[in-house]
Structure 1
Amino acid sequence: MDAVERLIGRRWEGVTLNTFLKFGHLDRPVQRHLQRVYATLGVALTISALGCLADLHYGIAGILTYLAGFGCLLGITLTPANPSNLNKRYAMLAGFAFCQGAALGKLVDVALDVDPGIVLTAFLGTATVFVSFTLAALISARRSFLFLGGWLASAVTGLMVLRLSSWLLGARMLVFQVEVYFGLLAFALYVLLDTQLIVEKAAAGYTDPIKAALDLLVDILAIFARVLVILLQKQAQRQQREANRRGNEKKRR
């Protein structure tokens, strides 16, 4: 009977978009906290875009922006989340977002030189991944993805060991490919994990929208960078195939 319903489509009768966007299982304080988190995240992403633009025009990315970004990250982590430090922590989040955006400037510049459409495609792909995994985390039963914490920590450690071994033993291109694709999967799953952690912490009374937005910002920028690299690789492969095709045509003539 279930197979017949799937075949004729009756399985989805009465299911609308609102069915998937019901968050009644989340308490009102948790919902308000999520609103603050995503508002903060939106501003941080805008600042990251400004940092990327600044690097494209002025080439500001370098050791100073790296140290500044690391300092802001350390400051957010070590500064207590209380009202007296709110503006200071927001400023450090803005500084970190700007520096991270600047760090992506060189990669974005390469993509713009190859095909400006790649950057837009990477942005839309990143948005799709983030929204899909966020909704999956919010709609699913609470704590259902928290088991990913140990697995993802082990996976990230494995990637670091793999990168170190590539420096010592070679095969850097193979390791790079593994790191790009596996890293994309890992950070997509981190969106699931971080979103449910935000919900659980808020339900327990720990509401820090700055730290929550920081975690999601790192996930999004990591996903965007990897999607952009994959698209650049695909474009290079297409160009290579086209060049080989033209070369074969000239030989036949």
Structure 2
Amino acid sequence: MVTLTEKITNKNHWFQSFYQTIQLYARRLLLTISSEHFTKTHLQEELCRYKVWLHNQTGRNWQHNYDLSQISESCLNMNIFHHSIRFHALFKFSQISHSTQLHLKNVYSCLAVCMFVAAAGSYVHVVTRLFQGGLLSLLCSLGMMVWLSMTPHNSETEKNRLAILAGFAFFTGVGLGPAMDFVITINPSVIVTAFLGTSIIFICFTLSALYAKRRSYLYLGGTLMSGLSILFLVSVLNMCFGSAILFKAHMYMGLVIMCGFVLFDTQLIIEKAENGDKDYVWHCVDLFLDFVTIFRKLMILLAMNEKDKNKEKK
């Protein structure tokens, strides 16, 4: 039998899942509005980079109308055992320009700062209780995100936008407080496990996007948005039925979709940076929400599994 306390707790998680889906929709809407269309010049840039690569490999100058059959057999059939292994090449992304690599450093630096600020927001809710997470923190987080999107990116507004980003990260961390309260009652170590698992997932999918061919994962955009639509409908239905199985299915499906968004957002940021969009503050928002969403879903799933194991032992 399910007690009244468990019913209330499950209902709160269903409402939080519904609010989080709305937040993802708002983020994707703002992303669509701020995105730029790509032109045919990208193909020409790729051809130029490939021509430089061919010149470095064969020592010959290649024209735009080059014939791939002219590449020597010694270049195509290189014996790797005659060459020394250079591990520093693992950290070189030849398909990404130097300016874009510097832009990514700024993005991930802001992401690291947002993690600390969000941790401080969660600490305020869990320990000090000065500010409680809930609908108010969600509205404040959405308000900060809209404010940030409406503030133009330039040198004069850079400090203001960083401050808005810090406020957004703080309220997002406060919003994680209720979920953390639920997890702490079961097993506090789940929070650490979920954070480490989220970090591993995020790093692996980020490296996959960085090492993969440019724009190879951008086709996932339509599929991922369709997945978000399904998540929204499942959240609405679950608010009416209150099914634990439907809730778990929603969490697992959301976890898979957000892993796909890490691939999509990373390559989209690279393409925007290659086309002159150096708004690292707004790009940080995309990756930060991906990380937080994966962390929240993974933490709740681990806590629910731990709770089921405790019931079986009793």
Name the TM tier (shorter chain): 0.7 to 0.9
More helix as a share of residues: 1
The question of 1:71 aligning with 2:176 is answered no
1:10-89 residue pairs with structure 2 within 5 A? 18=88, 20-59=90-129, 60-89=132-161
TM-aligned CA deviation for residue 16 of structure 1: 7.7
Distance (Å, rounded) in 2 between the aligned partners of 1:211 and 1:47: 16
Match of 2:235 in 1: 163
Moved more, 141-150 or 86-95: 86-95
Distance (Å, rounded) in 2 between the aligned partners of 1:127 and 1:207: 25
Contact 2:248 2:301 in 1 (8 A): no
Bigger-Rg structure (1/2): 2
Match of 1:196 in 2: 267
Per-residue deviation, residues 186-241 of structure 1 (Å, max 9, x unmatched): 11110000000110000111111111110001000000001101111111121111
Q: Which residue identity is paired with 1:140?
A: A
TM-aligned CA deviation for residue 22 of structure 1: 2.9
TM-aligned CA deviation for residue 177 of structure 1: 1.1
TM-aligned CA deviation for residue 162 of structure 1: 2.0
Note closer, same or farther for the CA distance 1:156–1:14 as it changes in structure 2 (3 Å cut): farther
Note closer, same or farther for the CA distance 1:18–1:175 as it changes in structure 2 (3 Å cut): farther
Contact 2:122 2:177 in 1 (8 A): yes
Distance (Å, rounded) in 2 between the aligned partners of 1:167 and 1:128: 32
Out of 216, 227, 230, the position equivalent to 2:287 is: 216
Match of 2:185 in 1: 113
Aligned-pair Cα RMSD in Å: 2.0
Distance (Å, rounded) in 1 between the aligned partners of 2:223 and 2:251: 18
Contact 1:20 1:139 in 2 (8 A): no
Q: Which residue identity is paired with 2:282?
A: K
TM-aligned CA deviation for residue 17 of structure 1: 5.9
Contact 2:272 2:278 in 1 (8 A): yes
Distance (Å, rounded) in 2 between the aligned partners of 1:236 and 1:105: 19
Unaligned 5+ segments in structure 1 are 1-9, 244-253
Contact 2:93 2:210 in 1 (8 A): yes
- Structure 1 residue ranges (4+ consecutive) displaced by more than 3 angstroms after TM superposition: 13-21
Q: How much identity, in percent, do the aligned residues show?
A: 32
Distance (Å, rounded) in 2 between the aligned partners of 1:192 and 1:52: 27
